[in-house]
């Protein structure tokens, strides 16, 4: 039995997002044009900045266009970006959960690698605002708001795997663009894929649980972008530190999988 509601919609969205990533971010990688680097604080040129940011918004732009083209209720879907009162409790749960994730990531790093540099937290607080725009908001209307809706919600594990892989492939050019977090830290692409699949499952779980709330997806994406950035800033990147950072995320995803499996048995 297929887990996809509309195969053509999925294929079109994937083709546009991956194609744009190859064209826009790929051009920066091929021509060795340095990308904007929030960490350096140095002035950036307009054209590289425009290309870099434009591709970051392609998933959401594509999602809005395709949703409007294929469905009449797209405005109602976009309204879920605004949080409702019944999301106060899940917001607190998510804050606690991701606070626990970064706590155990840092603890594991301190025990098995070296001492985490806590000074980066105060020095990089100014990054928190652009992080909500250049990632969660620019992507989630597409990944969860459109692509997620093309799958049958009861198959969350398979859906997470598919979306996570496509999501990771969309990021692939960033590993070759001078100045990106992935390139500067020499991030391992395969552990990155695993991380995004796990993150995709976590987001799928809460997206389904809270009836397709885009706010929940954006909030989770934002939280993990923040802790991922601060973890990289405060550590000396290596494959070991990378694997250690995945362990708490894997445990959290495993807990959610157990909860979902237990609910299905009832």
The residues, ordered by sequence, that sit 6+ positions from 229 with a Cβ below 8 Å of its Cβ are 124, 127, 131, 181
- Give the three-class secondary structure for 54: helix
The per-residue pLDDT for 194 is 96
122, 250 Cβ separation under 8 angstroms: no
153, 76 Cβ separation under 8 angstroms: no
Render each residue's pLDDT in the chain as its tens digit; 266 residues: 566 666 788 999 999 999 999 999 999 999 998 876 655 556 677 888 899 989 999 999 999 888 876 665 667 778 889 888 889 999 999 999 999 999 999 999 999 999 999 987 777 777 666 666 677 889 999 999 899 888 866 678 888 999 999 999 999 999 999 888 888 888 999 999 999 999 999 999 999 899 889 999 999 999 998 888 889 889 998 999 999 999 999 999 999 999 998 887 76
Residues 194, 118: Cα–Cα separation, whole Å: 26
**Which structure tokens are listed for 38?**
């929030």
Per-domain boundaries in the chain: 7-265
- Give the three-class secondary structure for 150: helix
pTM across the whole model: 0.91
Residues 193, 165: Cα–Cα separation, whole Å: 6
Of 223, 234, 175, 171, which is closest to residue 197 (Cα–Cα)?
A: 171
The residues, ordered by sequence, that sit 6+ positions from 98 with a Cβ below 8 Å of its Cβ are 220, 223, 224, 227
């Amino acid at each position: 039995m297929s887990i996809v509601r509309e195969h053509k919609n999925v294929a079109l969205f994937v083709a546009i997002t991956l194609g744009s990533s190859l064209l826009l971010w790929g051009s920066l990688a091929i021509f060795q044009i340095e990308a904007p680097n929030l960490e350096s604080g140095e002035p950036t040129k307009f054209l590289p900045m425009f290309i870099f940011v434009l591709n970051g918004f392609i998933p959401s732009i594509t999602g809005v266009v395709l949703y409007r083209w294929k469905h009449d209720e797209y405005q109602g879907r976009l309204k879920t970006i605004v949080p409702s009162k019944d999301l106060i409790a899940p917001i607190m749960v998510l804050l606690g959960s991701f606070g626990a994730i970064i706590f155990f990531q840092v603890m594991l790093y301190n025990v098995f690698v070296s001492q985490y540099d806590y000074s980066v937290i105060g020095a990089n607080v100014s990054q928190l605002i652009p992080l909500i725009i250049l990632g969660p908001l620019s992507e989630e209307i597409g990944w969860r708001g459109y692509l997620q809706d093309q799958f049958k919600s009861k198959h969350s594990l398979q859906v997470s795997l598919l979306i996570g892989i496509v999501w990771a492939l969309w990021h692939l050019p960033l590993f070759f663009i001078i100045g990106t977090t992935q390139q500067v830290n020499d991030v391992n692409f395969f552990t990155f894929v695993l991380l995004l699949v796990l993150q995709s499952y976590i987001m799928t779980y809460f997206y389904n649980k809270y009836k397709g709330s885009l706010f929940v997806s954006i909030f989770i994406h934002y939280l993990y972008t923040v802790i991922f950035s601060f973890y990289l800033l405060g550590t000396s990147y290596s494959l070991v530190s990378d694997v250690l950072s995945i362990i708490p995320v894997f445990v959290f995803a495993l807990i959610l999988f157990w909860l979902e499996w237990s609910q299905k048995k009832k």
